[in-house]
Amino acid sequence: MRRPDENQSTDDPASDERRNDVEELARNTLERAAADRAAFLEAACPDDPGLRDKARELVQAYERTGPSRRTVLSRPPFAPPPAVKVGPGDALGPFLLLDRIGEGAMAAVYRASHQDAGAVVAVKVAQRGLVAGHQRLFQVEAQILRLLDHPNVLRFVDDGTLDDGRPYIVAEYVDGLPIDQFCDRWELGLDRRLDLFRQACAAVEHVHRHGVVHRDVKPRNLLVTRGGVAKLVDFGIALPLAGGSAASGPPTERPMTPQYASPEQVRGGEITARSDVYSLGVVLYKLLTGRLPHGDAEAVLGPREMARLFDGGRPRRPSEAAASEDMRRRLAGGLDEVVLRALAERPEERQVSAEALAAEIRAAADRRTL
C-alpha cells in the first residue's frame, strides 16, 4: 500500500469519505458474478468515472491475487444481510407493489397501492450496493420531501428501510406527462404554456423558501396531470442551501442533467437558488421554441461539451428560434427579454427568484395584450 505523502493531511474527512466510497463500491462489485462486474460498475456510478476507475483497480487487484493481498479487500467482500426480493406483488409495510415504472443506477420506482386505504402511490427503492455518497443523497431526499407542502410539488407519504438495509421512499403517484410533451400533445397556445410554467415557478419558489435547491429542474421532472396541474418531482439530487449556496464539487462528483444545468453547475461553481432559475429559463425556452438554447442534443452532450457551448455567448432570442411566424411575433420584445435574462451566464444578472421570474412573465404577457 502506498505510504501517505508527508505533506498530505491524513485526517481529512473528505479524503476518508472518498476512500470509503471506493472500497465500498469495490466490495459490492465483488459480490457479483465475475461476468456481471463490469456492467455493475458502469451502472453504479455513471456520473463519477473517477470513483468507478479506482474501484475497478481494487477489484482487478483482488481478482489477480485473491485474499492473500493485504488490503481492505482481503476480508471476504461483504457479509450483508440477505437481499430482500422487491418486485410487483411484494409488500413494503402497508403498500403493495403493482408494477415497476422506472429504474436507474440509484433506485427503482414502483406504482403501489395502500392495502387498506386503496390510495395509489409511488415507491422509490434504493438499488442494492449503493456507495455511501449515493445513500446519503437518498436519505436527504426523504428529509427534503418531508419539509414540502405545496399543490405543485410531489407530496411525501412515508419512508422506511428494507431488512437488507436499503431505504425506500413513498410519495404521491403523479400520472402525467413532462411539461413540454403535455403542451405539444394538446397543442397548447402561448398563454396556456405560460400558465403551466408559472405553476412550475411556484413549485420551485416553495422549494427555495424551505432552504433547498432542486438542481435538476427539467421537463421530465415537471409532470402535468390530466387535470392540467404541474408537479415538480424527483428530488434525488436536491440539496439544502447552507448560507444561501451549496458547493457543486468536482466534475466527476456532481450529478446533473447538463442540458438543463446552469453554467455554474457545469463548471463547478457555487449553486444557489438562481441556478434553478437558469434551469427554469431553459425549460421556458423549450416550451416557447421547441428547442434548447444551446443545442438540441439532449442525450449526447456532457458537462465539458456544455461548458464549451456556454462560451459561445447568449443563445438566439426566442422570437428568432420559434417555429411559427405567429409565435415569433408574440415573443418579440418583452418575453424575449425575460427568457434571456433567466439564461444569463452570470447568476447575479438573472431574476432573483423563481417568483420574480413568474412575475416578469405575467407583466410581459399583460403588456402584450394591451
The grid coordinates of residue 324 equal 411559427
SS (H, E, C) 150-168: CCCECCEEEEEECCCCCEE
Question: 247 forms bridges with which residues in the sheet?
Answer: 270
- Residues 91, 98 contacting (CB under 8 angstroms): no
Cα angle 248, 41, 99 (rounded to 5 degrees) comes to: 90
Question: 113 forms bridges with which residues in the sheet?
Answer: 96, 120
Which amino acid, 302?
G
Beta strands in the chain (DSSP E): 91-92, 95-103, 107-114, 120-126, 156-161, 167-172, 176-178, 212-213, 222-225, 230-232, 239-240, 246-247, 270-271
Question: Is residue 339 within a helix (H) or strand (E), and if so which, with residue range?
Answer: helix 334-342
Task: Check if 116 is active-site.
Answer: no
Catalytic, out of 21, 48, 159, 216: 216
Q: Looking at residue 300, what DSSP letter applies? A: T
* CA 296 – CA 292 distance, rounded (Å): 5
* CA 10 – CA 7 distance, rounded (Å): 9
Greatest extent of the chain over all pairs of C-alpha atoms, in Å: 80
List the 176-178 sheet strands across, edge first: 176-178, 222-225, 230-232
The sign of the torsion formed by the CA atoms of 175, 178, 180, 185 equals negative
Q: DSSP string of 25-68? A: HHHHHHTS-GGGHHHHHHHH-TT-HHHHHHHHHHHHHHHHHGGG
Catalytic amino acids? 216
